[in-house]
Amino acid sequence: MDFNADDANIFENMVTGGADRAKVYIETYGCQMNVNDSEVVASILIANGYAITSKLDEADAILINTCAIRENAETRVFGRIDLFGQYKKGKPSVIVGVLGCMAERLKDRLLEEKKVVDLVVGPDAYRELPVLLRAAEEGQKGINVLLSREETYADISPLRLDKNGVSAFVSIMRGCNNMCSYCVVPYTRGPERSRDPHSIVREVQELVSAGYREVTLLGQNVNSYYWEEQKGLLKHKVNFSDLLEMVALVDPRLRVRFSTSHPKDLTDEVLYTMAMYENISNHIHLPVQSGSTRILQLMNRKYTREDYLNRINAIRRILPDCAISTDIITGFCTETEVDHDMTLSLMSEVGFDFAFMFKYSERPNTKAARHLSDDVPDEVKTRRLTGIIELQGKLSQQSKEADIGKRFEVLIEGESKKSRDEFYGRTSQNKVVVFPRGSHSIGEYVYIVVTGCTPATLIGKIVKE
């Protein structure tokens, strides 16, 4: 699974009912899919008589939605569990539950070693949370980490707990079938299954009616989305290109993004659909992981270096202004300096606009852990990662400098962290721009001319259409 997995999101307080409702504090670690899952959890809990709070000292229950992709993400969560254990000493009645990927992978350790944990609930068992919470209130430990081949939560409208009411995540599928040798996702989230496209469109329509201006379609591998239903004697089939078009047609002023794409499944059909609709974001996140075909084969990525570059060439041909971002893992099993240099050369050839870059972290029970030796010394991994980060810094700077003088449509997402006199938003290419706010409001589209840049953002000014 290809995600930046180290961000924590603590949801804002919402008024959800009377003061007599038990209050639940939700803390989310990991990928965008986890954020969406927490919104599904909140919706389920509110429908069953609970309230959601962002204030820890109000909580009757604390739920931690976890990530298992990298070891440091798990380490952070264990630290939070220990902290909540200290909190529980002052309030023994509070329930502590662990949700998500760590729950599935480390269920026994969580219940046996971490005595503070009352609930362990996997990503396909969130419907059972109300029952498990009420059992925990009676002093029973609760666990349900069964994986499903059918569960997509298609009938549940996630409770949007974001701050700005402008952008929302919409899950279109769950699980993964790719079995990359380094990845735990197929084991923690189960097999791939796609959600009914009609329920996706309905959710997007609800978001538009509520004032949202942007959606991001989420899946471990959105390009393999596929739905089939029987209509009389005919079968109606919907692939990702079809779904992308259906969502784009909901409202021409709704910006549509998606993540994440797998190189082996990114078709020209998807690219042509993106080119056809102006409201589909002009950005593709296409994780490469390594520039060496030998390493890609060991990773079981199912494409070669040449295959990947072929997809890049197709993007450049069909979508000339498309931004491309990626994920890179350095120090995978048996990686040599030659393999590392091939990654650097691929980065230079593609010229990625931005990237998420990591040292390989062996995850228990994956194919790599069972059959390959994690034999690259940590100091070598660190040196190689430093080189990758330095190169990407130069490429990102070049990408931003190339935008100076250009005009972009930007969706205003919020106030700048540095000044209330400035707004920030993103271009269709997913680049952040900071600019004077003027008389505009969050949620508006404005046209910006880029006047400069910092290492992290573009700087611009509002111009007339």
What values do phi and psi take at 416, rounded to 5?
-65, 145
Which helix (H) or strand (E) covers residue 393, if one does?
helix 378-402
Q: In the predicted model, is pLDDT for residue 21 greater than 60?
A: yes
The count of domains in the chain is: 3
Asked whether residue 185 falls in the same domain as residue 296, the answer is: yes
Looking at the domain assignment, is residue 26 inside a domain? yes
CATH number at residue 94: 3.40.50.12160
| Residue 76: burial class (beta carbons within 10 Å; 0-12, 13-18, 19+) | middle
Q: Taking the model in full, what pTM does it have?
A: 0.89
**Distance between start and end Cα atoms, the chain:** 40
Q: Collapsing DSSP states into helix, strand and coil, what is residue 24?
A: strand
User: What range does the domain containing 68 cover?
Assistant: 8-144
Q: In the predicted model, is pLDDT for residue 132 greater than 60?
A: yes
Asked whether residue 232 falls in the same domain as residue 325, the answer is: yes
Contact 353, 282 (CB under 8 A): no
Please list the residues that pair with 119 across neighbouring strands.
Answer: 97, 142
Please list the residues that pair with 143 across neighbouring strands.
Answer: 120
Q: In the predicted model, is pLDDT for residue 175 greater than 50?
A: yes
Which helix (H) or strand (E) covers residue 414, if one does?
strand 407-415
Point out the domain boundary residue: 355, 378, 402: 402
Contact 291, 343 (CB under 8 A): yes
Q: How many CA atoms lie within 13 A of 317 on its CB side?
A: 10
Point out the domain boundary residue: 109, 144, 179: 144
Q: What is the pLDDT of residues 358-414, one digit of tens each?
A: 999 999 889 999 999 999 999 999 999 999 999 999 999 999 999 999 999 999 999
Q: What is the per-residue pLDDT for 163?
A: 67
Asked whether residue 179 falls in the same domain as residue 312, the answer is: yes
Asked whether residue 398 falls in the same domain as residue 414, the answer is: no
Looking at the domain assignment, is residue 157 inside a domain? no
Please list the residues that pair with 65 across neighbouring strands.
Answer: 28, 99
Q: What is the per-residue pLDDT for 17?
A: 45
Lowest-confidence range among 117-121, 316-320, 443-447?
117-121
Asked whether residue 104 falls in the same domain as residue 124, the answer is: yes
Contact 366, 181 (CB under 8 A): yes
Asked whether residue 217 falls in the same domain as residue 121, the answer is: no
Q: What is the per-residue pLDDT for 106?
A: 82
Looking at the domain assignment, is residue 383 inside a domain? yes
Asked whether residue 190 falls in the same domain as residue 291, the answer is: yes
